[in-house]
Every structure is written in C-alpha cells, then in structure tokens.
Amino acid sequence: MTKGLQIQNISKYYGEGMNRLTALDRVSIEVGPGEFVAVVGPSGSGKSTFLSIAGALLQASEGEVKVNGNSISRLSARELSSVRLNEIGFIMQTSNLVPYLNVLDQLLVVKRMGGKVSTADKALARQLLDGLGLHSKLKSFPESLSGGEKQRVAIARAFVNNPSVILADEPTASLDTKRAYEVVNLIAHEVKSRQKAAIMVTHDERMLKHCDKVYHMEDGILSLVQ
Ligand SMILES: Nc1ncnc2c1ncn2[C@@H]1O[C@H](COP(=O)(O)OP(=O)(O)O)[C@@H](O)[C@H]1O
Ligand SMILES: [Mg+2]
C-alpha cells in the first residue's frame, strides 16, 4: 500500500455547455509521508479547487484521489465524511473557529459529536496547544485571541485527530511576517516529526524555503517548479 496522497489525472469542470469552465486540467501529484509540498499560482488558477478535491470536500469530474492507497473517488457521503475526519487535517485562510467554544473545546468538539471524549483525547489536545504556545489560553474564547493565536488554534485542531494528510489553503494570508513564519514552521515540524503528507497553497514566496517541492498552478494545470 502506498502511504500518503496520490492524485491521478484529475479534472474539474464547473458549469455546462457553453458555460463550462475547466478549473483543473488533468492534475497529477504524489505526496509521500514526511513530504511538505507548496503550490503557488495566480488567483483563479484552481488552487482551492485542487485542495478541496484532495481533501474530499469536493468531487473531481474525472480522475482519481487516493489516500493511503485507498481510492476516495467513489465513496458514499458517509464514507467521505469519515475520510475527512480521520485522514485529513484542513487549515484554511481564516481560522473558522466556533465563536462560543473555548480554545480547548475547539479541538474536542468533533470528538464530542462522535461520542465520548476520553482523558487521552483531552491530554493530546492540551499537549498540542502547549506545543503551540497556547497553554495560557485553553479557556479563552476566539474573540479574545489575536489573529496569530486563532490560526495556531486552527492548526492544533487540524492535527488533533492525527490525520495522515495535511492541507493548508493560504494559511498565512492574514498574518504578519513573524507569525507567518511561525505557522509554516509549525506545519513543517508536524510533517517531519509525525510523517504527514502535506500540501500548502501560498502566495508568499518567503514561505517556500520550508517546503520540499514547489508546484505552480496556472489555468488549472499543475507543474513542478523545483
Ligand atoms: N463553485 C464554483 N462554481 C463555478 N466556478 C467556480 C467555483 N469555484 C471556483 N470556480 C472558478 O474556478 C476557477 C478556479 O477557482 P479557485 O480554485 O478558487 O482558484 P484559486 O484558489 O487559485 O484562486 C476560477 O475561475 C473560479 O472562478
Ligand atoms: Mg483560493
């Protein structure tokens, strides 16, 4: 079984007939465990569409996505949501925290919906938040956090289920340079220390030195830069 993420020849069309738009044009990529890949490219080139398909949020029109060797192209809605929950950690441009939950509960809410939260779950959540410098913020609500702190909570939330694939869509877009470096360093550390397969979409050339490979997206076509 091949670990990590394998994307084979995916295309995505929006609309039909004369209005059909090719958002992705036969995109292929493999990202192995411990590999941190960046995708750069202009606005509207298909980067978010690509990441959404890689993360089982959106279905491709053609082609195949495999997570740890298993195709997710023909799964039921229920099976897809299980893949998203257990295999994929998503980090978005804005942190999308739940306003009425404190920091610790942001990480535990999904577990809570799925049943009981164990002592081990709580310990892991605390450990992750400690590691991200948020130990004094466990009981804080999002409105009292800075942009950087919110984004770190979102990162901890993406890591808490120990997913094998991490997908980040412009995770530093709302941060200053120092915070941006911190965020990318944290992702890189998780990728290397726990052997995750990670893809980060970014506009920020300065962040690329943390990545193993850089791909360019243009008009839905993905190509390797370095
Ligand atoms: N849900 C949608 N319906 C129709 N067109 C879409 C939809 N989402 C994105 N697009 C179009 O697909 C292209 C790629 O968009 P997107 O993946 O968001 O690019 P990027 O993230 O690189 O800015 C754009 O032309 C965009 O307008
Ligand atoms: Mg986008």
Q: Is the pLDDT reported for residue 206 higher than 80?
A: yes
Quote the tokens at residue 155.
Answer: 């990162």
Distance 27 CA to ligand 1 centre (A): 15
Neighbouring residues of 113: CB distance < 8 A, sequence distance ≥ 6: none
Pocket test of ligand 1: the residue of 10, 12, 13, 14 to mutate, having most ligand atoms within 8 Å of its CB, is: 14
Q: Is the pLDDT reported for residue 158 higher than 80?
A: yes
The atom number, within ligand 1, closest to the CA of 12 reads 12
Sign of CA dihedral 202, 203, 206, 208: positive
Distance 157 CA to ligand 1 centre (A): 26
Euclidean distance between CA atoms 219 and 99, whole angstroms = 36
Starting from the CA of residue 49, give the closest ligand: 1
With bands split at pLDDT 50, 70 and 90, how would you rate the model's confidence at 148? confident
pTM summary value: 0.93
Q: Which pLDDT score, from 0 to 100, does residue 226 have?
A: 63
Distance 180 CA to ligand 1 centre (A): 25
Coil, helix or strand at residue 197: strand
Longest dimension (CA), the chain: 56
CA–CA distances in Å: residue 146 to residues 99, 142, 220: 14, 8, 35
Q: Is the pLDDT reported for residue 157 higher than 90?
A: yes
CATH of domain 5-224: 3.40.50.300
Percent of the chain with pLDDT over 70: 100
Q: Is the Cβ atom of 202 under 6 angstroms away from ligand 1?
A: no
Mean pLDDT of 32-60: 96
Q: Is the Cβ atom of 6 under 6 angstroms away from ligand 1?
A: no
Euclidean distance between CA atoms 21 and 15, whole angstroms = 6
Q: Is the Cβ atom of 19 under 6 angstroms away from ligand 1?
A: no
49-98 per-position pLDDT tens digit = 999 999 999 999 999 999 999 999 888 989 998 899 889 999 988 888 99
Euclidean distance between CA atoms 37 and 191, whole angstroms = 10
Q: Which pLDDT score, from 0 to 100, does residue 153 have?
A: 94
Q: Is the pLDDT reported for residue 100 higher than 90?
A: yes
Euclidean distance between CA atoms 38 and 184, whole angstroms = 11
Q: Is the pLDDT reported for residue 143 higher than 80?
A: yes
Q: Which pLDDT score, from 0 to 100, does residue 145 have?
A: 95
Residue ID of nearest Cα to ligand 1 atom 2: 14
Percent of the chain with pLDDT over 90: 72
Mean pLDDT of 20-39: 98
With bands split at pLDDT 50, 70 and 90, how would you rate the model's confidence at 178? confident
